[in-house]
Structure 1
Amino acid sequence: MSIDLERELKSEQNKNVSEYINKVLSLIEKEEINEAEAAWITKETVDGFREHVNPGFLEYRKTVTEGGQFAAVEWSDNGSCFKDVNGKEYIDCLGGFGIYNVGHRNPKVVKAVTDQLKRQALHSQDLLDPLRAMLAKILADITPGDLKYAFFTNSGTESVEAALKLAKMYSERTTFISTTRAFHGKSLGSLSGTAKGMFRKPFLPLIPGFRHVPFGDIDMMRKTFEVCAAVGEDVAAVLLEPIQGEGGIILPPENYLKQVRELCDQYGSLLIFDEVQTGMGRTGKMFAAELYEVVPDIICLAKAFGGGVMPAGAVVATENVFNSWFDNPFMHTTTFGGNPLACAAAIATIGVLIEEKLPERAAEVGAYFLEELKKAAKGHEDKVQEIRGQGLMIGIEFHQDEIGYDVSKGMFDRGVLVAGTLINSKTIRIEPALTISYDEVDKVVSTFKEVLVQINA
């Protein structure tokens, strides 16, 4: 091919790409789209996933698929709901896997981010950025016990990675105890703590030194500590979700977390609470650690930390633990973690949670929701095995995966989004915005009851 022809083809390609970009941007700009535009967006979305993202999603998201095409392509959201590109509204009880604690596009969070965006989006990386300092101070004030210093991340798995590195530098120990059904993320370090074999096997060997014990079994936890000490592999830290989210909304037995704390103290090990899903008011307290009156040495945050507007996460640790990073703060860094937009979102989110008493509301509405779901399931014990939860973190476990799928599909078709958990596929989660109204709760419950009546066990 000649140079001139190559340039001509490249020029034509760039022209086509520019035209496509301008069309996409013009659609983003519109407050309302017409039927033809909605159809074009749907086709481009499905084709794009099939050809350029990952065709597996078209099969995996089959609860929202109809006739080989997506029945819903997300387009807008507000409050406790979102709309698809055709204007159908759904009550969001998946909540982006628990990120919309203060609701979809909470106006105070959106305002904080847009106000910051007008002045500065990202920081230079060299000067001191003020919002990071201010957010760290707020976290020191609201987290339990003597947690004091914060490191900011972009996601939950990054928060867990940072916590593991903190624990290693603190004691130079390399053994970690995690639990069965645990989910801590999918980067190599956090995946080493995650329990599901399907996610782990393709990447073995993972980070050495991780041991898994049954969640809630304090005797096995104690024996593992004893064995590790006996063979000279002292435990650096125990990594736990106070309530297991992806494992199927599994609550700890009474006093279990306190006993784990005591074991950590006895053996000079750290306790890391992964509150990526339980934090920011979800369980009826700002942090689940407060529910169980246990103070960890390190707490991991993400998901709802950015208010459902910005990707944001944090690791907060005691000064005693964090000071191993004082001499060289570049031992662990991230380009975008703690950026001004994310910090603005997190600061506003915490403000909304406190001012509107959303953790308290989660406890109140969650208790009502849980009771009403249990009432709706009466007479369907052949399908529903158990309904459990804390605050607005509720799991509905079925006897078979297929029943859970049918319920999810049936509820979606009727305008309610739920989904299974990653570790326990028989359980669907209920994690709506903490702002969900009682009328919306009643609609979800009535939909659940209607679907249960219509499906066959």
Structure 2
Amino acid sequence: MKPQLSKNERIVEGDINRSEGRKKWLAEDVDAHTQMLLEKDARYFLHQALSTPCLDVLTNAQGPYITNRNGKTYFDFHGNNVHQLGFAHPKLVEALKKQLDSLTFSTRRYTNEPAIDFAEKLTSLTPGLDKILMTPNGSSAVGIALKLARAVTGKYKVLSFWDSFHGASLDVVSVSGESVFREHMGPMMPGVERIPPPITYRGIYEGNEDKAIEYLEYVLEKDNQIGAFLAETVRNTDAQIPSKKFWKAARELCDRYGILLILDEIPIALGRTGKLFAYEHFDIIPDILCLGKGLGGGIISQAAIVTKSGYDRFNHISLGHYTFEKSPMGAVAALTTLQVLEEEHILDHVLQLEKIMRAELHVLQDQFSIIGDIRGLGLLWGLELVKDPVFKEKADEEAEAIMYECLRNGLSFKVSKGNVLQLCPALTITAAELRQALSILAQAFQKIIKTQKL
């Protein structure tokens, strides 16, 4: 007997894959052959939350689009946060083809020029952070950061935010705050303290960041075994943006109490917020920076940590030691990604598109009071839908209905926390394409919400 969908399952990191809406989509919007392929997919892959059953079967991904086996294209406003360059950027594809004809793997205890070139380039972009370790994925990068923090401080505890997401491996799940990834996992790694995030909407502080700073200081003062504060500089899943005041205060408190500030920018770095790294918005420098996802240009899985040279004193400890640590393919992908971001002036492009996104979404909010909050930077945006703007009851059913209506018309995005439409397009999308995608969103609101003032 299959377990029933609980109400709590709506309040998670992504859209619900076992809802009536998903069943209706699969029954009415997917052709018979695609249904057969999706059934085979479900037969051979382990089922898990947030994925199985899948939405569609893809055959291509180019620029801001993904394409299914029938030739239907979707604007991909999700992209697993790997599509800073869009999909299959020609310069990246060419660079990887060229590398395939030479060195494809680097055995441990040996290095290679692509890895060295990448390290040199990356650290040139992170003043104050001049040592790196490469790793195949973001969870591993966070794991390395946690181990390094223990080695540096001699303290085993970690402070993080409730509702935060830092990866899916058991050690990283233990220090994250997103409940859906910790459920049914039994005892977690000990030594984790969590505090409420300083979010601006629906948060415990209701936008009063002074209270958030006060709480942070209280915890750090009381517990002298905390050695690391792990946080997303900007929370990706529902686009929550702390103020410069908060981050500067947090940086000062970490310095005062001898705590390493680890900033997880795995989904939000590399131009997503309009700056190469999100921490640049707040005039701070972390002690350890975690990067991943788009670092491999949406083709190669590549991640890294960047940290201070003063912490390079643990050659007797295996901090990472991953098989593909200095992957020449991953290094070429990451180096080319950084070069394309510069050569094609993508950060300037993002800032121009940010103006369009902000203006269009606020026009939508003026039409539909169900949009309780709009927040974003660069090309990372969240629309929080509420049934009542005073009591802020979540409009989760409406959010899901809007998502499926957009899918029918060629726009794909993620629903976060049950009621937040997270809009995260490729940074290379054109202004015309962005307006076209936002038009699909507006039409979905017109159809699903109609003209009612909810």
CA displacement at 1:337 relative to structure 2:
2.9
Aligned pair in 2 of structure 1 residues 371, 193: CA closer, same or farther (>3 Å)? farther
In the other structure, the counterpart of 2:274 is: 284
Gaps of 5+ in 2: 1-29, 199-211, 387-394
1:342, 1:121 → 2: CA distance?
9
1:299, 1:57 → 2: CA distance?
28
In the other structure, the counterpart of 2:300 is: 310
2:36, 2:109 → 1: CA distance?
41
Alignment of 1:28-427 (within 5 A): 42=34, 45-55=37-47, 64=55, 72-94=56-78, 96-143=79-126, 145-216=127-198, 217-229=212-224, 233=225, 235-246=226-237, 248-321=238-311, 323-325=312-314, 327-328=315-316, 330-381=318-369, 383-399=370-386, 400-421=395-416, 424-427=417-420
Q: 1:46 corresponds to which letter in structure 2?
A: L
CA displacement at 1:402 relative to structure 2:
1.0
1:75, 1:344 → 2: CA distance?
25
Aligned pair in 2 of structure 1 residues 431, 52: CA closer, same or farther (>3 Å)? same
Check the 8 A contact 1:377/1:449 in 2, yes or no. no
CA displacement at 1:193 relative to structure 2:
2.1
Aligned pair in 2 of structure 1 residues 149, 41: CA closer, same or farther (>3 Å)? farther
1:372, 1:198 → 2: CA distance?
32
CA displacement at 1:41 relative to structure 2:
6.8
Check the 8 A contact 2:163/2:179 in 1, yes or no. no
Question: Deviations 1:155-206 (Å, cap 9, x if unpaired)?
Answer: 1111111110110111110111101221111112211221122321322321
**Normalization by structure 1: what TM-score?**
0.84
Aligned pair in 2 of structure 1 residues 317, 88: CA closer, same or farther (>3 Å)? same
SS in 2 for 1:203: coil
CA displacement at 1:252 relative to structure 2:
0.3
Q: 1:419 corresponds to which letter in structure 2?
A: K
SS in 2 for 1:103: coil
Gaps of 5+ in 1: 1-37, 65-71
Question: Deviations 1:312-341 (Å, cap 9, x if unpaired)?
Answer: 0000100112x133x236443100233111
Check the 8 A contact 1:135/1:343 in 2, yes or no. yes
CA displacement at 1:253 relative to structure 2:
2.8
2:51, 2:245 → 1: CA distance?
42
Aligned pair in 2 of structure 1 residues 141, 58: CA closer, same or farther (>3 Å)? closer
CA displacement at 1:356 relative to structure 2:
1.1
In the other structure, the counterpart of 1:23 is: none
In the other structure, the counterpart of 2:429 is: 436
| Greater radius of gyration (CA) | 1
1:39, 1:389 → 2: CA distance?
36
2:42, 2:111 → 1: CA distance?
44
CA displacement at 1:404 relative to structure 2:
1.1
CA displacement at 1:362 relative to structure 2:
1.4
CA displacement at 1:58 relative to structure 2:
9.7
2:328, 2:408 → 1: CA distance?
39
SS in 2 for 1:395: strand
SS in 2 for 1:119: coil
CA-based RMSD of the aligned residues comes to: 1.9
CA displacement at 1:46 relative to structure 2:
1.3
2:53, 2:441 → 1: CA distance?
20
Aligned pair in 2 of structure 1 residues 401, 337: CA closer, same or farther (>3 Å)? farther
SS in 1 for 2:43: helix
Aligned pair in 2 of structure 1 residues 59, 185: CA closer, same or farther (>3 Å)? closer
CA displacement at 1:276 relative to structure 2:
0.4
Check the 8 A contact 1:164/1:189 in 2, yes or no. no
CA displacement at 1:97 relative to structure 2:
2.1
1:190, 1:55 → 2: CA distance?
21
Check the 8 A contact 2:141/2:290 in 1, yes or no. yes
Aligned positions, number: 400
Check the 8 A contact 1:297/1:318 in 2, yes or no. yes
Between stretches 297-306 and 354-363, larger displacement belongs to: 354-363
Task: Report percent identity of matched pairs.
Answer: 28
Between stretches 76-85 and 327-336, larger displacement belongs to: 327-336
Q: Which structure has the highest helix share of the two?
A: 1
CA displacement at 1:420 relative to structure 2:
1.4
Between stretches 343-352 and 176-185, larger displacement belongs to: 176-185
Aligned pair in 2 of structure 1 residues 59, 429: CA closer, same or farther (>3 Å)? closer
